[in-house]
Amino acid sequence: MSVNELLILVPCHSLEDFPTELGDEPAAGLLNAFSVVFHPQLIAAAESFPRYVRADEPGTAKPGQLIILPTASQDWMPHGWADQARREGAFVISGETHRSELLKSALAPLGEAGQSDVDPELVADFLALGTVYLQTELLTRHMRNYSHLEEDQMLRELLAGSHAAIAGDAAATRAHLKRCFEMLLSCRERFYPVECHLIDLCLVIPRLANESLGQLLNTDVPVNVLAQGCDWEEILEAHPEWQEAIREGWKQGNVELVGGDWKDRPTALMSIDAQIDELSRGHAWYHTQFDRAPTVWGRKRFGVGPHMPQVLHRLGYVGALHVVMDDGIYPDEELANLRWQGSDGSMIEACSRIPLAGDSASSLLRFPVRMAESMDYDHVAGVVFARWPEQRTPWLDDFRRAQKYAPVLGKFSTLHDFFHATDTHGTINEFAAGRYLSPFLVQSVARRDADPVSRYVTYWEMQRRFQRVDWCRRVAELFSSPTLNLADDRTLDDVVREADPESTAEQQLAAVAALDKAELETRSHIARVLTGDSAGAGAGLLIVNPHSFSRQVVVDWPEGTAPGQEDPIRHRQINEQSSSAIVDVPACGFQWLSTQLRKEARDTPVGKLLMAEELTLRTDLFEVELSNATGGIAQIRTYRRSPNRLSQQLAFRFPHERTYKTTVGEESHEVRSYYSVMQLRESEIISAGPMSGCIETRGDLMDTVQNRILAHYRQRCTVYREQPVIRVEIELDTLKQPEGDPWTNYFCSRFAWKQESAVLSGSMQEGAHLITAPRIEAPQFVEIADDSYRTTIHTRGLPFHRKTGDRMLDTILITEGENARKFEFVISIDENYPLQRTLDAFSPPLVVRTESAPPSGAHSGWLFHVGAPNVQLTRLLPAPPAGAGMSSEGFVIRLQETEGRHRQVPVQCFRTPAYARQIDLKGETISTVPLDGETLTLDMASFEVCDVEVRFE
């Protein structure tokens, strides 16, 4: 019996309500049904155009009908209809979803005619036509239009093409197929007459770099390949022949490498220098291998943030993917093309449309919806497909095959070409920093990694130590003649860079060892450079401040010595426990102080006004009262009339709210809470003055429901004379471990303040940004500000905080897997520039013990003076190669604006420059910097990172 009609039973009343939300198996059966009925042998046998009918009203089956019943339609069918249709002589295929099995069943009724050989490539093109036909018809409906396909004309072309394919005439077959595809293109152009784009984004990792990737790299249909630089290095070591294929494909515009990062590190919680280093290192490697670097940025891991447009723009990128293929929260307004504006005002073209999974039937079934959305809302429509090199499903390949005939559903493009085609037409979007939240904490706990919280403290401590050592090394080189032959700078940079928050213990130890060695070398060199050869007699301490603001630092004198009474020393404290002093040190400068033997120095009296008394700490600026019930901070008050600035206590947060009873006087109350209760056992005054006051409290964290101890605590609060800070050191001995979700079950330090209207801001990439979400990532500080007062919590690198009410905040200390039990933070009062205070608190100066004094009049000095406290000098870097007629003597200073304030910034140098220019991250000139004697004047935007090359005569 021959086949005379091709019929698909669809689970809808018409294409207007064609299902777009199905699981992979039912979706695959539905998509493949429309592909299979376009097989040339079926078309030639039926001599009719394939039809679809409602599954709930299939009508009476007729002999010779080939009816495909997808699994998605089975629940719609009248009971027993399929069996009745078979008895009537129809061929009914049901239960098949995979294309190969469905095709085998569909060709079976043709007998020997279905076994004849037809070029598989031509067959695949016919099947692609079926896929594109369905997608075009669905897209037409989603664009609120009627189909204008002339089926009779298309049937003639189909029949002619089918007979040509069976006869083995490939040229004629392709000519007829081309006309079929062009007819579908005409249908699409009736409702969207301009070009639309399809972006094939292939994600690559070394494990999946197989023959499929090799074939893809030699394609003539544009493809974008996203991988880390370090992954490409590993892939090319295994497949060196692909290097030339990539270079040639990139040159011809068929292959584009997307990305640029050497490694996808958790940069959202690292310094902005770390992001710059990763991209710079990646670009250098790409240029070495392929003579070019990526111009479109993207990452598989979370890495988007408001700092990225600036960094990408200054590295020469033309576009970016503002999408997350990992977990995490980010602004997810979907546009094919937008102008992504960074926190500094820099803009870059970006695509924020979430990719469709290229090997998912469910995803491909939603294609018409997603393309219609883009056609409605984007200046130029585009859809991105994300997939691995090896495809397990055929539909994306159908789309790519259609490209050879006509861009019916869109033109496959590289991202570079796509952004070029849509240049300057995107809407401007500035996404606030508070709208981003990385998934790194949750992922670390889910993987059961060690130290999901304190790994960031370790990272920031190492980063600050590296910056201190690196700055001192550069200074030693600047003042050395000839230039010092220190250990290889790049080696130190590379070793420290590898010690990121996710590094191994071996990498951490290697970084510590490298820093120890470099610091040992630097101490001797910086001492010799700054004290000079004509040094005077007398031992002392050389205190070097690498930061661009003057500081009052607490310095501990070496054992057996004590500070003198020189002018830079503001306060001293000499007793049996320690010999220390608060010392004035200039910005980007040094201070040398003499030492005396401890036995020759008298103990400093505590003074009339005790700085610590019972549970009260006091300075000349404020007073801190500790709670006699909890041992935490009950209140902080300044001496002028002001409210309680902040209260603090330690707690364990349970994942669910609990109820317990408490008694006040003779009355019993029911309390509902997520938290344990902090109970004080004892307190001790550690220091009562005259320079510092310190009280230590000890107690327990209680589970009042089960009446058990969850942890023992030890908390030490310290204040210093003339300094608006309280240093809090915590040690926990936990008896219960948090489990599960780290954002709901943890040990924490809780903070509360009075004003519900207070505004919170926190550090992101070392800049102060407004906090708008309850879950907060801020490694340096969280500031609480109202109209009159500013109170700031500075951490050593604890990044995770949770706002639990209008005036409460938890700083997370311990989650599941966390091993650290000692923590530290500083609370500052009315600090105008919080990053300065964080650096001052947790980045100590380099203190070098010297056996001789500098020449008279050279006990103190500075190298740079930055005339804006909201701008920090973060690095001294080697100058790029000198141009013609330019002095080789020079360096690059890196400045960062931290408060979101645009202003002109004067920078004074220790020596009169001959020339200065602002450069981008490739070393190219942005602008010439005006000079006035020793002073450079820079125009810095909010949150800008500014590299300035300075040359001398």
Tell me the pLDDT tens digit for each residue of 393-412.
Answer: 999 999 999 999 999 999 99
Quick one: pLDDT at residue 106?
94
Token pair for 681:
């056992």
pLDDT tens digit string along 617-630? 999 999 999 999 99
pLDDT at residue 880, rounded to an integer: 86
Does 665 score more than 80 pLDDT?
Answer: no
Under a CB-based contact definition with an 8 Å cutoff, are residues 357 and 386 in contact? yes
- Which of 131-135, 279-283, 472-476 bottoms out in mean pLDDT, i.e. has the lowest? 472-476
pLDDT on residue 483: 46
3 state SS of 472: helix
Looking at residue 489, what is its pLDDT?
57
> For 351, what's the count of Cα atoms within 13 Å in the CB-facing half-sphere?
33
How far apart CA 227 and CA 262 sit, in angstroms, is: 9
Indicate the SS3 state at residue 520.
helix
Packing angle of the helix pair 151-167, 170-191 (nearest 10 deg)? 160
Query: Which letter does DSSP use for residue 323 in this model?
Result: -
User: Which phi and psi angles does 920 have, rounded to 5°?
Assistant: -85, -170
- CA 387 – CA 393 distance, rounded (Å): 11
Q: Is 621 helix (H, G, I), strand (E, B) or coil?
A: coil
Strand order in the sheet with 91-94: 51-54, 5-10, 65-69, 91-94
Q: Cis omega before residue 690 (within 30°)? A: yes
Q: What is the mean pLDDT of residues 810-816?
A: 98
Mean pLDDT of 691-708: 95
Residue pair 529/476 in contact (Cβ under 8 Å)? The answer is yes
pTM of the model: 0.92
Q: Looking at the predicted structure, is the pLDDT value of residue 484 above 60? A: no
pLDDT at residue 652, as a whole number: 98
What pLDDT was estimated at residue 909? 94
Question: What pLDDT was estimated at residue 487?
Answer: 41
Contact 138, 34 (CB under 8 A): no
Query: What pLDDT score does 488 carry?
Result: 47
Per DSSP, helices labelled H in 218-360 are 229-238, 242-252, 272-290, 308-313
Residue 296 has pLDDT above 70, yes or no: yes
* pLDDT band at residue 576 under the 50/70/90 scheme: confident
Domain with residues 612-842, CATH architecture: Distorted Sandwich (2.70)
Q: Is the pLDDT of residue 490 over 70?
A: no
| Contact status, residue 864 vs residue 588, Cβ threshold 8 Å | yes
pLDDT > 50? residue 837: yes
The pairing of strands 338-341 and 347-351 is antiparallel
**418-436 confidence digits (pLDDT tens):** 998 876 556 788 899 999 9
Please confirm whether the linkage preceding 643 is cis (ω < 30° from 0): no
pLDDT bracket for residue 93 (50, 70, 90): very high
What average pLDDT does the segment 715-735 reach? 97
Beta strands in 360-469 (DSSP E): 382-387, 411-412, 427-430
Kindly report, residue by residue over 236-278, the tens digit of the pLDDT.
999 999 999 999 999 999 999 999 999 999 999 999 999 999 9
Is 477's pLDDT higher than 90? no
How far, in Å, CA of 549 to CA of 587, rounded?
A: 4
Q: Please state the rounded mean pLDDT for residues 687-704.
A: 95
Look at residue 646 and give its three-state secondary structure: coil
Give the architecture (CATH level 2) of 197-438.
Answer: Alpha-Beta Barrel (3.20)
Residue 603 pLDDT class (50, 70, 90 cuts): confident
Phi-psi region of 440 (alpha: psi -120 to 50; beta: other; left: phi over 0): alpha
Question: Which residues make beta-bridge pairs with 873?
Answer: 895
Q: Is the pLDDT of residue 680 over 50?
A: yes
Amino acid identity of residue 645, one-letter, is: R
Q: Which long-range contacts (CB under 8 A, 24 or more apart) does 502-505 make?
A: 502/265, 502/266, 502/449, 502/455
Given a contact cutoff of 8 angstroms between Cβ atoms, the answer to whether 748 and 813 are in contact is: yes
Q: Tell whether the model's pLDDT for residue 96 goes beyond 50.
A: yes
Could you tell me if 409 and 396 are in contact, meaning their C-beta atoms sit under 8 angstroms apart? no
pLDDT band at 335 (very low <50, low <70, confident <90, very high): very high
In angstroms, the Cα distances linking 792 to 651, 693, 783, 795, 825 are: 20, 20, 4, 10, 10
In the chain, where the domains are located: 5-191, 197-438, 451-531, 538-604+843-854, 612-842, 863-951
pLDDT at residue 884, as a whole number:
66
- Furthest CA-CA distance within the chain: 116
Q: Is the pLDDT of residue 684 over 80?
A: yes
561: its two tokens: 């010595």
pLDDT, position 486: 41
Cα(864)–Cα(98) distance, rounded to whole angstroms?
A: 70
Share of the chain above pLDDT 70, in %: 97
Strands 781-785 and 759-764: antiparallel
Structure tokens at 811: 């700083």
Average pLDDT along the chain: 93
Q: Which residues pair with 557 in a beta bridge?
A: none
Residue 883 — pLDDT band, cuts 50, 70, 90?
Answer: confident
- The pLDDT, as a whole number, for residue 485 is 43
Q: What integer pLDDT is reported at residue 534 of this predicted model?
A: 55
Say whether pLDDT at 611 is over 50. Answer: yes
Residue 599 has a pLDDT of: 83
CA-based R_g, the chain, Å: 35
pLDDT surpassing 60 at residue 99: yes
